[in-house]
Amino acid sequence: MGFGASNVIVESFDELKAGFISKPVPFATNIALGSYDHLLVRSADAFGGAGGKGTYMTVNTSINKGSTPTTLTLATPQRYFGLWWSAGDPNKLLSFYSGSTLLETFRTSDVVNFINAQTNKNAFYGNPNNGQNKGEPYAFLNFYADPSNPGLTFNRIVFSNVGNSGFEQDNHTLAAFYTDISGKDINPATPVDLGGNPKSTDTKGVEGPGSTLTDSGNAVIGGNGTGTLNVIDGGTVTDGGTTVGQSPGSTGALDVTGPGSTVKDTGTAVIGGGGSATLDVVNGGTLSDASTMVGQNPGSTGIVDVSGPGSTVNDTGTAVIGVAGSGMLEITNAGTVNDSNATVGAQPGSTGIVIVDGTGSQWATVEL
């Protein structure tokens, strides 16, 4: 496989006869790997069946109401899962759990929207085995645990159908290890809320050219717990604003690393709302926003590091380093920060520090 996978195991469903199986079904005939709580199996047709033959799994209430949801419980925690998704429509859900903790829910509407935005979208439509059903997309989907969080695993996947059509799929794939990721990221187009609950820890990565994450609202990284968002190697995040380390006791980190890696805020970037926060824009990454507040409220701490040639923060409005809390801005190794105006240590009791160091490092502000 194209991502350095090893110990790859595939459930093709071809060992099963078409029909509804109400009892648990071992994954790839091996109960030691895990099992499905039940399965609805169909013979290959216009809507499913990798390679155009054998059988495939579906979740379809119009055929059998007991087929949704279908749960795959894995015997050991995993970091990768893949499937051939066929006759796609926007009404399906895949939910990944670690024990009873929901890690992420993916909606097939995100995939449909992604495909329709591609210049070669027509290549995805129609069954590639027989040319039938040209009105729906077909694709192999890869689900990776965030590469930036090596401790993140899942052991339960729930397949749900929120409509009356089928959730056709085949070639469920596990890989014990992988060395890289392949393809482009399709992140859920839902509000970013990482570390929203006390004592929670969430990490999300947007990695590689063409990988995008869009949030029409305010992205929160470290709401009440610990949150990390890594935008690396050409990934792009677009949102209405970003708050890192929102509440007292929270910890947030936003890392924008590498040429082409971009965060675009149409609103304000708050680095340290009430908690502790860091923003690293390094090695050619860029962040643009309407304004930047570092160390916003009493007791908060915010540190912004802009380092390396091409690393840039662009404010169309005001930057405040130390609003009512503690704020620090470090510009080093030819990094650049552009502000319309800036304030350091705005309110009584606040602390503001700005360091500009190294050849080519620049803090360009019209008014200070």
Residue 257 pLDDT > 90:
yes
Residue 129 pLDDT > 70:
yes
Can you give the pLDDT at residue 303? 98
CB atoms near residue 256 (< 10 Å):
28
**Per-residue model confidence as pLDDT tens digits over 58-95:** 999 889 988 989 999 999 999 999 999 999 887 788 88
331-350 burial: b if 16+ Cβ within 10 Å, else e: bbbbbbbbbbebbbbbeeeb
Instruction: Please indicate whether residue 311 or residue 193 has the higher confidence score (pLDDT).
Output: 311
Contact yes or no for 308/337 (Cβ under 8 A): no
d(CA 263, CA 260): 10
Can you give the pLDDT at residue 123? 92
d(CA 216, CA 218): 7
CA distances from 209 to 34, 221, 261 (A): 35, 22, 8
Can you give the pLDDT at residue 367? 59
pLDDT confidence tier of residue 56, bands split at 50, 70 and 90:
very high
pLDDT confidence tier of residue 115, bands split at 50, 70 and 90:
confident
Parallel, antiparallel, or unpaired for β 291-294 and 268-271?
parallel
Can you give the pLDDT at residue 189? 54
Can you give the pLDDT at residue 195? 84
pLDDT over 90, % of the chain: 63
What element of type H or E holds 271?
A: strand 268-271
User: Span 147-156, mean pLDDT?
Assistant: 84
Contact yes or no for 368/345 (Cβ under 8 A): no
The number of angstroms, rounded, from the C-alpha of 202 to the middle of its chain's C-alpha atoms is 11
d(CA 354, CA 368): 12
d(CA 33, CA 361): 54
**Three-state secondary structure call for residue 106:** strand
Can you give the pLDDT at residue 188? 58
Instruction: Please indicate whether residue 147 or residue 78 has the higher confidence score (pLDDT).
Output: 78
Contact yes or no for 165/60 (Cβ under 8 A): yes
Q: Is 182 left (phi over 0), alpha (psi -120 to 50) or beta?
A: beta
Contact yes or no for 154/78 (Cβ under 8 A): yes
pLDDT over 70, % of the chain: 95
DSSP H stretches of helix in 105-242 = 108-116
Contact yes or no for 91/59 (Cβ under 8 A): no
CA distances from 10 to 19, 41, 83, 340 (A): 20, 16, 9, 56
**Per-residue model confidence as pLDDT tens digits over 165-222:** 889 999 999 987 776 776 776 765 556 788 887 778 888 888 888 888 887 778 899 9
pLDDT confidence tier of residue 309, bands split at 50, 70 and 90:
very high
User: Span 243-268, mean pLDDT?
Assistant: 94
Can you give the pLDDT at residue 1? 52
User: Span 286-315, mean pLDDT?
Assistant: 95
Can you give the pLDDT at residue 105? 74
User: Span 281-294, mean pLDDT?
Assistant: 95
Instruction: Please indicate whether residue 300 or residue 196 has the higher confidence score (pLDDT).
Output: 300
**Three-state secondary structure call for residue 50:** helix
Residue 155: CA count within 13 A, CB half-sphere: 12
Residue 273 pLDDT > 90:
yes
Can you give the pLDDT at residue 113? 79
Contact yes or no for 12/134 (Cβ under 8 A): no
For the question of whether the overall pTM of this predicted structure is more than 0.75, the answer is no
pLDDT confidence tier of residue 114, bands split at 50, 70 and 90:
confident
Tokens of 290: 């309407």
Instruction: Please indicate whether residue 68 or residue 11 has the higher confidence score (pLDDT).
Output: 11
The number of angstroms, rounded, from the C-alpha of 188 to the middle of its chain's C-alpha atoms is 7
**Per-residue model confidence as pLDDT tens digits over 93-106:** 888 888 877 777 77
Residues facing residue 80 across a β-bridge: 144
Instruction: Please indicate whether residue 367 or residue 17 has the higher confidence score (pLDDT).
Output: 17
d(CA 270, CA 247): 11
Can you give the pLDDT at residue 48? 95
